[in-house]
Structure 1
Amino acid sequence: MTITSDRYVRPAGLEAHFNRVAAFLTRHGISLLGTRILAVRGHKSGEWRTNPVNLLTHEGERYLLAPRGHTHWVRNIRAAGGGELRLGRSTEPFTAVELPDEEKVPLLRAYFERWGWEVARFFEDLPKKPTDEQLAGVAPGVPVFRVLPAEGDGRRG
Protein backbone atom coordinates (compact mmCIF):
# COMPACT_ATOMS: atom_id res chain seq x y z
CA MET A 1 0.00 0.00 0.00
CA THR A 2 1.46 3.33 -1.04
CA ILE A 3 -0.14 6.60 -0.04
CA THR A 4 0.48 9.91 -1.77
CA SER A 5 1.75 12.98 -0.02
CA ASP A 6 -1.48 14.92 -0.71
CA ARG A 7 -3.70 12.40 1.12
CA TYR A 8 -6.56 13.82 3.21
CA VAL A 9 -9.38 11.85 4.88
CA ARG A 10 -12.33 13.97 6.02
CA PRO A 11 -13.88 13.24 9.43
CA ALA A 12 -17.38 11.86 9.11
CA GLY A 13 -20.18 10.24 11.08
CA LEU A 14 -19.11 8.71 14.38
CA GLU A 15 -15.59 10.08 14.07
CA ALA A 16 -16.90 13.66 14.10
CA HIS A 17 -18.99 12.82 17.20
CA PHE A 18 -16.02 11.10 18.90
CA ASN A 19 -13.83 14.15 18.19
CA ARG A 20 -16.40 16.43 19.87
CA VAL A 21 -16.53 14.17 22.95
CA ALA A 22 -12.73 13.89 23.13
CA ALA A 23 -12.39 17.68 22.74
CA PHE A 24 -14.95 18.32 25.50
CA LEU A 25 -13.19 15.99 27.94
CA THR A 26 -9.73 17.32 27.07
CA ARG A 27 -10.88 20.93 27.49
CA HIS A 28 -12.04 19.92 30.96
CA GLY A 29 -8.70 18.37 31.89
CA ILE A 30 -9.41 14.71 31.09
CA SER A 31 -6.91 13.22 28.64
CA LEU A 32 -7.91 10.05 26.78
CA LEU A 33 -4.65 8.13 26.22
CA GLY A 34 -2.67 11.33 25.65
CA THR A 35 -5.24 13.57 23.95
CA ARG A 36 -4.60 17.30 23.85
CA ILE A 37 -6.31 20.21 22.21
CA LEU A 38 -4.05 21.50 19.48
CA ALA A 39 -4.37 25.24 18.98
CA VAL A 40 -2.66 26.78 15.98
CA ARG A 41 -3.15 30.01 14.06
CA GLY A 42 -4.84 29.65 10.69
CA HIS A 43 -2.42 30.06 7.80
CA LYS A 44 -4.84 32.38 5.98
CA SER A 45 -7.00 33.95 8.70
CA GLY A 46 -4.45 34.20 11.51
CA GLU A 47 -7.22 33.17 13.93
CA TRP A 48 -6.72 30.37 16.46
CA ARG A 49 -8.05 27.01 15.30
CA THR A 50 -8.42 24.02 17.63
CA ASN A 51 -9.00 20.30 17.42
CA PRO A 52 -8.20 17.20 19.49
CA VAL A 53 -4.99 15.31 18.71
CA ASN A 54 -3.16 12.30 20.11
CA LEU A 55 0.22 13.31 21.55
CA LEU A 56 2.68 10.44 21.12
CA THR A 57 5.65 10.07 23.46
CA HIS A 58 8.31 7.80 21.97
CA GLU A 59 11.82 7.28 23.35
CA GLY A 60 11.60 10.44 25.43
CA GLU A 61 10.46 12.70 22.56
CA ARG A 62 6.95 13.91 21.76
CA TYR A 63 5.27 13.85 18.37
CA LEU A 64 2.08 14.82 16.59
CA LEU A 65 1.03 12.50 13.76
CA ALA A 66 -1.76 13.25 11.32
CA PRO A 67 -3.30 9.86 10.42
CA ARG A 68 -5.94 11.59 8.26
CA GLY A 69 -3.19 13.12 6.14
CA HIS A 70 -2.61 16.71 5.11
CA THR A 71 -5.40 18.23 7.19
CA HIS A 72 -6.08 21.89 7.95
CA TRP A 73 -4.14 21.67 11.21
CA VAL A 74 -1.15 20.25 9.31
CA ARG A 75 -1.17 23.13 6.82
CA ASN A 76 -1.60 25.62 9.66
CA ILE A 77 1.23 24.19 11.76
CA ARG A 78 3.56 24.21 8.75
CA ALA A 79 2.86 27.91 8.23
CA ALA A 80 2.96 28.88 11.92
CA GLY A 81 5.90 26.67 12.91
CA GLY A 82 4.18 25.64 16.14
CA GLY A 83 1.19 26.28 18.34
CA GLU A 84 -0.16 25.33 21.73
CA LEU A 85 -1.10 22.04 23.34
CA ARG A 86 -3.91 22.41 25.85
CA LEU A 87 -5.23 20.15 28.58
CA GLY A 88 -7.82 21.72 30.83
CA ARG A 89 -6.44 25.09 31.92
CA SER A 90 -2.85 24.15 31.15
CA THR A 91 -1.38 25.59 27.97
CA GLU A 92 1.99 24.58 26.54
CA PRO A 93 3.38 26.62 23.64
CA PHE A 94 5.56 24.55 21.31
CA THR A 95 7.61 24.63 18.14
CA ALA A 96 7.02 21.93 15.53
CA VAL A 97 9.66 20.31 13.35
CA GLU A 98 8.32 18.18 10.49
CA LEU A 99 10.10 14.87 9.98
CA PRO A 100 11.15 13.39 6.65
CA ASP A 101 9.50 10.15 5.54
CA GLU A 102 12.57 8.02 6.31
CA GLU A 103 12.28 8.85 10.05
CA LYS A 104 8.57 8.01 10.39
CA VAL A 105 8.44 4.18 10.48
CA PRO A 106 9.14 3.63 14.22
CA LEU A 107 6.77 6.47 15.10
CA LEU A 108 4.02 5.11 12.87
CA ARG A 109 4.48 1.69 14.50
CA ALA A 110 4.24 3.17 18.02
CA TYR A 111 1.22 5.29 17.03
CA PHE A 112 -0.63 2.31 15.52
CA GLU A 113 0.16 0.16 18.57
CA ARG A 114 -1.35 2.81 20.85
CA TRP A 115 -4.23 4.17 18.75
CA GLY A 116 -4.74 1.59 16.00
CA TRP A 117 -8.26 0.90 17.25
CA GLU A 118 -9.05 4.56 16.50
CA VAL A 119 -7.16 5.18 13.26
CA ALA A 120 -7.02 1.80 11.48
CA ARG A 121 -10.02 2.73 9.32
CA PHE A 122 -7.86 5.37 7.57
CA PHE A 123 -5.52 2.57 6.44
CA GLU A 124 -7.84 -0.22 5.30
CA ASP A 125 -5.12 -1.99 3.32
CA LEU A 126 -2.69 -2.22 6.25
CA PRO A 127 -2.73 -5.44 8.29
CA LYS A 128 -2.95 -5.29 12.10
CA LYS A 129 0.80 -5.85 12.35
CA PRO A 130 2.30 -4.07 9.32
CA THR A 131 5.87 -4.59 8.19
CA ASP A 132 8.39 -1.76 8.07
CA GLU A 133 8.00 -1.73 4.29
CA GLN A 134 4.23 -1.32 4.57
CA LEU A 135 4.64 1.52 7.07
CA ALA A 136 7.23 3.18 4.81
CA GLY A 137 4.64 2.97 2.03
CA VAL A 138 2.09 5.00 3.98
CA ALA A 139 4.63 7.45 5.47
CA PRO A 140 4.29 10.14 2.74
CA GLY A 141 0.57 10.44 3.54
CA VAL A 142 1.05 10.82 7.31
CA PRO A 143 2.69 14.11 8.35
CA VAL A 144 4.72 13.79 11.57
CA PHE A 145 5.96 16.67 13.73
CA ARG A 146 8.41 16.60 16.63
CA VAL A 147 7.08 18.77 19.46
CA LEU A 148 9.73 20.99 21.04
CA PRO A 149 9.40 23.57 23.83
CA ALA A 150 8.77 27.07 22.51
CA GLU A 151 11.49 29.61 23.03
CA GLY A 152 11.21 31.33 26.38
CA ASP A 153 9.94 29.62 29.50
CA GLY A 154 8.31 26.76 27.57
CA ARG A 155 5.22 26.34 29.74
CA ARG A 156 2.50 28.33 31.32
CA GLY A 157 -0.62 27.19 32.98
Structure 2
Amino acid sequence: MTSSTRPYVRRPWIARAVGDRLAPRFRPALVRRLSVPGRVTGRWRTTPVAVLDHGGASYLVAAFGVTDWALDLRASGRGRLTRADGRASFEIIATEVPVTERGPVLAAYRTSFGSAPGVAGAFRALPDPADHPTFRITP
Protein backbone atom coordinates (compact mmCIF):
# COMPACT_ATOMS: atom_id res chain seq x y z
CA MET A 1 0.00 0.00 0.00
CA THR A 2 1.50 3.32 -0.98
CA SER A 3 1.21 6.48 1.06
CA SER A 4 -1.30 7.80 -1.48
CA THR A 5 -3.67 4.84 -1.07
CA ARG A 6 -3.45 4.08 2.63
CA PRO A 7 -6.11 5.55 4.93
CA TYR A 8 -4.51 8.65 6.40
CA VAL A 9 -5.60 12.12 7.52
CA ARG A 10 -2.95 14.82 7.56
CA ARG A 11 -2.72 16.41 11.00
CA PRO A 12 -3.83 20.06 11.10
CA TRP A 13 -0.97 22.53 10.66
CA ILE A 14 -1.64 23.99 14.11
CA ALA A 15 -1.08 20.57 15.69
CA ARG A 16 2.13 20.04 13.75
CA ALA A 17 3.58 23.52 14.07
CA VAL A 18 2.45 24.55 17.53
CA GLY A 19 0.99 21.55 19.32
CA ASP A 20 4.07 19.36 19.02
CA ARG A 21 6.09 22.08 20.75
CA LEU A 22 3.59 23.30 23.35
CA ALA A 23 1.80 20.12 24.43
CA PRO A 24 4.91 18.72 26.17
CA ARG A 25 5.19 21.94 28.18
CA PHE A 26 1.56 22.15 29.26
CA ARG A 27 0.75 18.43 29.55
CA PRO A 28 4.09 16.70 30.16
CA ALA A 29 2.47 13.70 31.81
CA LEU A 30 0.46 13.07 28.65
CA VAL A 31 2.97 13.48 25.82
CA ARG A 32 5.72 10.98 25.06
CA ARG A 33 8.22 10.81 22.24
CA LEU A 34 8.09 7.52 20.39
CA SER A 35 11.25 6.42 18.62
CA VAL A 36 10.99 3.52 16.19
CA PRO A 37 13.50 2.05 13.73
CA GLY A 38 12.44 2.82 10.15
CA ARG A 39 11.09 -0.17 8.27
CA VAL A 40 13.26 0.51 5.22
CA THR A 41 16.43 2.20 6.46
CA GLY A 42 16.51 1.09 10.08
CA ARG A 43 17.23 4.72 11.01
CA TRP A 44 15.45 5.71 14.22
CA ARG A 45 12.57 8.15 13.76
CA THR A 46 10.83 10.08 16.53
CA THR A 47 7.30 11.47 16.81
CA PRO A 48 5.13 12.78 19.67
CA VAL A 49 2.41 10.40 20.85
CA ALA A 50 -0.15 10.12 23.64
CA VAL A 51 -0.15 6.85 25.57
CA LEU A 52 -3.58 5.56 26.53
CA ASP A 53 -3.93 3.62 29.78
CA HIS A 54 -7.06 1.49 29.52
CA GLY A 55 -8.19 -1.66 31.30
CA GLY A 56 -4.84 -2.18 33.02
CA ALA A 57 -2.83 -1.98 29.79
CA SER A 58 -1.09 0.77 27.81
CA TYR A 59 -1.81 1.49 24.16
CA LEU A 60 -0.59 3.57 21.25
CA VAL A 61 -3.29 4.52 18.74
CA ALA A 62 -2.64 5.96 15.28
CA ALA A 63 -5.54 8.41 15.44
CA PHE A 64 -4.74 9.91 12.03
CA GLY A 65 -4.74 6.59 10.21
CA VAL A 66 -1.99 4.42 8.83
CA THR A 67 0.93 6.71 9.64
CA ASP A 68 4.61 6.07 9.01
CA TRP A 69 5.26 5.57 12.72
CA ALA A 70 2.51 2.93 12.84
CA LEU A 71 3.94 1.13 9.80
CA ASP A 72 7.42 1.26 11.35
CA LEU A 73 6.16 -0.04 14.71
CA ARG A 74 4.17 -2.77 12.97
CA ALA A 75 7.31 -3.87 11.10
CA SER A 76 9.73 -3.78 14.05
CA GLY A 77 7.46 -4.58 16.99
CA ARG A 78 9.66 -2.48 19.25
CA GLY A 79 10.49 1.09 20.06
CA ARG A 80 11.44 3.54 22.77
CA LEU A 81 9.22 5.93 24.72
CA THR A 82 10.72 9.04 26.27
CA ARG A 83 9.00 11.47 28.59
CA ALA A 84 8.42 14.88 27.07
CA ASP A 85 10.93 16.41 29.48
CA GLY A 86 13.52 13.80 28.47
CA ARG A 87 14.06 12.61 32.06
CA ALA A 88 13.01 9.00 31.54
CA SER A 89 13.18 6.64 28.61
CA PHE A 90 12.33 2.96 28.27
CA GLU A 91 12.21 0.32 25.58
CA ILE A 92 8.83 -1.10 24.59
CA ILE A 93 7.49 -4.17 22.87
CA ALA A 94 4.41 -3.43 20.74
CA THR A 95 1.77 -5.97 19.82
CA GLU A 96 -0.86 -4.90 17.32
CA VAL A 97 -4.42 -5.25 18.60
CA PRO A 98 -6.63 -7.22 16.19
CA VAL A 99 -9.24 -5.07 14.44
CA THR A 100 -12.08 -7.00 16.10
CA GLU A 101 -10.75 -6.02 19.57
CA ARG A 102 -10.03 -2.32 18.89
CA GLY A 103 -13.51 -0.91 19.55
CA PRO A 104 -13.24 -0.36 23.34
CA VAL A 105 -9.67 0.94 23.06
CA LEU A 106 -10.58 3.41 20.31
CA ALA A 107 -13.63 4.58 22.29
CA ALA A 108 -11.43 5.20 25.34
CA TYR A 109 -8.89 7.03 23.16
CA ARG A 110 -11.59 9.30 21.72
CA THR A 111 -12.85 10.05 25.24
CA SER A 112 -9.36 10.82 26.56
CA PHE A 113 -7.84 12.63 23.58
CA GLY A 114 -10.74 13.61 21.32
CA SER A 115 -10.32 17.29 22.18
CA ALA A 116 -6.74 17.37 20.84
CA PRO A 117 -6.44 19.28 17.53
CA GLY A 118 -7.71 17.17 14.64
CA VAL A 119 -8.40 13.96 16.54
CA ALA A 120 -12.21 14.09 16.39
CA GLY A 121 -12.07 15.04 12.71
CA ALA A 122 -9.70 12.17 11.94
CA PHE A 123 -12.09 9.67 13.49
CA ARG A 124 -15.00 11.18 11.53
CA ALA A 125 -13.00 10.94 8.29
CA LEU A 126 -11.78 7.42 9.09
CA PRO A 127 -14.56 5.69 11.07
CA ASP A 128 -13.39 2.12 10.38
CA PRO A 129 -11.31 0.68 13.28
CA ALA A 130 -9.10 -1.01 10.67
CA ASP A 131 -7.90 2.47 9.66
CA HIS A 132 -6.40 3.12 13.12
CA PRO A 133 -3.46 0.82 13.90
CA THR A 134 -3.57 0.17 17.64
CA PHE A 135 -0.74 -1.34 19.68
CA ARG A 136 -0.64 -2.79 23.18
CA ILE A 137 2.72 -1.81 24.63
CA THR A 138 4.76 -3.42 27.37
CA PRO A 139 8.19 -2.53 28.76
Q: TM-score, normalised by structure 1?
A: 0.75
Gaps of 5+ in 2: none
1:38 aligns with 2:39: no
Percent sequence identity is 37
Q: Which amino acid aligns with 1:21?
A: L
Root-mean-square deviation (Å):
2.1
Compare CA radii of gyration and give the structure with the larger one: 1
Secondary structure in 2 aligned to 1:10? Answer: coil
Which whole-Å deviations, capped at 9, do the CAs of 1:8-39 have from their partners, x for residues lacking one? 1122411212123335x39xxx625x211001
What is aligned with 1:145? 135
Conserved? CA contact 1:38–1:83, under 8 Å: yes
1:123 CA displacement? 2.5
1:34-113 matches, cutoff 5 A: 34-87=30-83, 88-113=86-111
Q: Which amino acid aligns with 2:89?
A: T
CA distance in 2, matches of 1:146, 1:10: 24
Conserved? CA contact 1:22–1:52, under 8 Å: no
What is aligned with 1:154? none
Q: Which amino acid aligns with 1:72?
A: D
1:125 CA displacement? 6.1
What is aligned with 1:114? 112
CA distance in 2, matches of 1:124, 1:144: 17
1:7 aligns with 2:7: yes
CA distance in 1, matches of 2:71, 2:107: 23
Summarize the Cα distance change of 1:125–1:78 in structure 2 as closer, same or farther, 3 Å threshold: closer
Count, aligned residues:
130
CA distance in 2, matches of 1:81, 1:125: 27
Conserved? CA contact 1:9–1:69, under 8 Å: yes
CA distance in 1, matches of 2:75, 2:88: 24
1:45 CA displacement? 1.6
CA distance in 2, matches of 1:85, 1:91: 6
Secondary structure in 2 aligned to 1:110? Answer: helix
